[in-house]
Amino acid sequence: MGKFKVIVSDKAKKDLLEIQRSGDKASIKKVEQIISELYLHPETGTGKTYSLQKL
C-alpha cells in the first residue's frame, strides 16, 4: 500500500461500478492506473494535476 490514503465517495463508487459493468477494458485500465497513482504520488501522475488551494 502507498504512502497516502484514498477516500472514495459513494458517487464515485457507483461510477466505478458502471465503468466495470460497461466492459470497456481501456476505461477500466485507465481508472485502475489513476487510483494506483493516487496511492503513491497524488501530486503528479496522469493528466493535468494541480495542487488544491487552501481557502
- What is the pLDDT, as a whole number, of residue 50? 62
What confidence score (pLDDT) does residue 2 get?
56
Beta carbons of 6 and 35 less than 8 angstroms apart: yes
The DSSP secondary-structure symbol of 20 reads H
| Spatial separation of the C-alpha atoms in residues 24 and 12, rounded to whole Å | 17
Domain residue spans in the chain?
A: 10-40
pLDDT of residue 8: 86
Condensed to tens digits (0 to 9), the pLDDT of residues 1-55 reads 557 788 889 999 999 999 999 988 999 899 888 888 888 877 776 766 566 665 5
pLDDT value at residue 38: 82
Model pTM score:
0.63
